[in-house]
Structure 1
């Protein structure tokens, strides 16, 4: 944009203009004769008619990246239009239940998903995907029933009221679809529409795993930080990087071993339905190691939570690393399965606190080692 940064309103206007012109060159005889020139001709035509340079660039760059070795767009306008184009394609195909199967991907949907991932990660763009996917699904539902909006308006409003929080994907769409009368089943496949947000997000997770493994990341670390609702792909990458850095240290490896030991003991006792106290009661401590671990967990949990809130995942990992020594000392000097039931339940609750503290950043049970 040169030396003058455009306002947010100006950027929005440029994105809207670029979106209008993005596919215009597909109607030209040149692109009809030479399809490989789509985008390139769009850029030339846009410049010839005096469009903003970023709008012209977006006409060509919104198709990128077209493969793992292709560059990603970096201009803000191109990035916005490229993301919108690819997400529109993916959501549209998911709502009609047309997904890649096995080696078959006739509509290059894996490439589109990888394009979204690379644009976000390589440009370090933060974006929560679920709200965008959900909004697009809702717009598709409304556009499919446009002629009946007066009839369905009350049903849509009731669905939103029942959902309580429209951002709760799992509840909102089923409520919305239940509000649509059965006579619309022919134009609205209920199952695919309801499943699209979380199914498509899971597809992004799978493609992100492939992308990160190609970058050298460990698959178990990726699994440890991803949850079904993780929709900020750049945040996932940052968590994986921070977790990998922690586990590259001797302290991190020892912390992993101690944390997994705590989780395994806790899981075994929970399976046997052994009583686990709801909260830790310091008055029941008999050993100094218990007291030190309790204090360390309180500190680590608080500091890690604050760091995560600030999206400083390296600091969150560092906060957890202080647990290494007190965890080791606890297992060396304390018998968890004490004969006193109250003491045993309290010690198990302390192990649960270790698990809860580390779960803030990753599921350590999924990490090899």
Structure 2
């Protein structure tokens, strides 16, 4: 069984596209081969800036012969029906077979499709893949019609078995497939032939090309860490940047440089952002002070001067970039000193947030009012929360955030500190956007929590009021993320909040019930990821207080844990049996059996025991529910399992005695009422 090696060699591909391109190449080729009847044992896709590579092991030599039989119309069928069958099969009358069937003789079409050699199939699949490759952006060059992310120079496509390597004959827009590739653009640019993947990888390594992006990333990180450690410094981790830089070089060479003293006073986030965004540098910090003092750049080649010239060039560009950042920083500080942080943000009144929701300045006023309302619930000073809300967005008018939007909030804290605002206000400027993602830290400082909640709730209620809701996969205003942020803020901080009330205070025009339903959907997704069953959430959401998310989660966790026990599962079955019998009887009799169960009409010991058990459970469950001690509630529920089981084993509810029957149905009603006081158990599956 041969192995297949494909290399698509081009000008440098954008690093951000390489990971997706590897997966697309692997999927398109392997799916095409399998669809054509070939199988393979293993496939791996690799990339460097100039090449996409796919290696398959254990490919079958040819596709199998196929024989297809299709039953057609009866021999005495109308001619149009027979003609239609012939057209669908591509056969003529003399090629059809006549066979006996239960209802007479029928036509059969038998077609045989011989297998095709692997090389022929590979050629077809690869050409189709190249011509239809799903690049986010592509280009044409020269006079050809082929589109690729960057000009495609060569195609390597070989099948290798015990007899040797065979070039797959194919051509795409005049580019003939071969067994030739090239090494590093500068250090080993000559062409060379390969005979298979192992030979290919070894020769590339000798030609200064590390084929595996993960190996390049590991080399960069290892070398950069060692350089920093040797100077008593630490490399600042950035996995996204590491992946990107590994996609920019074929032969990574890490170089450590120092940041000029003039720039060491800049906030570390400014240095990191400027170096990362503009030059793809890693930041190096002093672990004793937390100050960013150096950088690591990754060259794509070795040099005779060990990178000295490269470092000098990078330092020159870096100094220019950091000079700009220093200028922005100092200008912003002057603005804050002369006008205050509120003065910096005054221009937000002229910045449109949304054409139907007014300016950013108007939004700040709404957030301030809502933060003041929320503050007592989260344990914050209303005045401090309002002050923080007034200035939290001010840095959006700073020169630094205009240049680096990703620093919004972070710079706000620095400007608040320079304005001598309270620490809680400064922290809220930084933290009120959080959490942005499901893995972000959640603010816990009360003022930050108040402003963060107000910010997100204002966004949600505003867009809900103008009917700009998420639809399907579309969520242009990140409302799902905002709702998840509110949920995490509430749950992490254990807040007892009436969300519907907050919605109304934020925007009187919003449909609070509809927005709350949206929150419940997001809560289900959030809890499902933590292993809580969706039907359990539905059961507790049906109870009073469903806009108190902390209460909902406490109920759901207790009910979920109870259902994992034998007592829990069996009690639910007992409840459902009681509910079904009771519901059927009420429908049949046209009455509601909801009161009047009396132990004096009990005939069986199990019936009397159930009365006693329900009395005891009811007496204990009521206070436990009031105290929100749901563990105790579930423990009391568990005590009902045995008496309910015993009752159904010993007693026939629909007795011939009308009084006994009515009493027993009213007893079932007590079971239902007690169980439904905990959660709407009718919504549980199974």
Change in 2 beyond 3 A, CA 1:242/1:340: same
Q: Deviations over 1:241-289 (max 9, x none)?
A: 1112212222222211211111121222233345443411333222222
Contact 1:301–1:320, Cα closer than 8 Å, also in 2: no
- Out of 519, 522, 536, the position equivalent to 1:221 is 536
- Out of 400, 412, 420, the position equivalent to 1:30 is 400
- Out of 632, 650, 670, the position equivalent to 1:315 is 632
Match of 1:355 in 2: 672
Match of 1:336 in 2: 653
**Greater relative contact order (Cα 8 A, min sep 6): structure 1 or 2?**
1
Q: Deviations over 1:43-91 (max 9, x none)?
A: 1100110011111111111101111111111111111110111111111
Whole-Å separation in 1 of the counterparts to 2:407 and 2:433: 12
* SS of residue in 2 equivalent to 1:116: helix
Query: Could you tell me the TM-score, scaled by structure 2's length?
Result: 0.43
Higher share in strand: 2
Contact 2:380–2:450, Cα closer than 8 Å, also in 1: no
Contact 1:26–1:38, Cα closer than 8 Å, also in 2: yes
Aligned pairs (5 A) from 1:1-369: 11-138=381-508, 193=510, 196-227=511-542, 230-273=546-589, 275-279=591-595, 280-369=597-686
Whole-Å separation in 2 of the counterparts to 1:277 and 1:77: 52
Offset of residue 340 of structure 1: 2.1
Whole-Å separation in 2 of the counterparts to 1:93 and 1:126: 25
Query: Where in structure 2 are there 5+ consecutive unaligned residues?
Result: 1-374
Query: Where in structure 1 are there 5+ consecutive unaligned residues?
Result: 1-6, 142-192
Match of 2:363 in 1: none
What value does the CA root-mean-square deviation take over the aligned residues?
Answer: 1.9
Whole-Å separation in 2 of the counterparts to 1:295 and 1:137: 51
Contact 1:65–1:71, Cα closer than 8 Å, also in 2: yes
Q: Deviations over 1:306-348 (max 9, x none)?
A: 1111011111111111111110111011111111223212211
Please tell me whether Structure 1 or Structure 2 has the larger radius of gyration of its CA atoms. 2
Where does structure 1 differ by over 4 angstroms across 4 or more consecutive aligned residues?
7-10
Change in 2 beyond 3 A, CA 1:351/1:48: same
Offset of residue 10 of structure 1: 7.3
Whole-Å separation in 1 of the counterparts to 2:504 and 2:601: 49
Q: Deviations over 1:150-206 (max 9, x none)?
A: xxxxxxxxxxxxxxxxxxxxxxxxxxxxxxxxxxxxxxxxxxx4xx11111111100
Q: Deviations over 1:10-40 (max 9, x none)?
A: 7222111111111111122222222111111
Higher share in helix: 1
Whole-Å separation in 1 of the counterparts to 2:609 and 2:502: 46
Contact 1:223–1:366, Cα closer than 8 Å, also in 2: yes
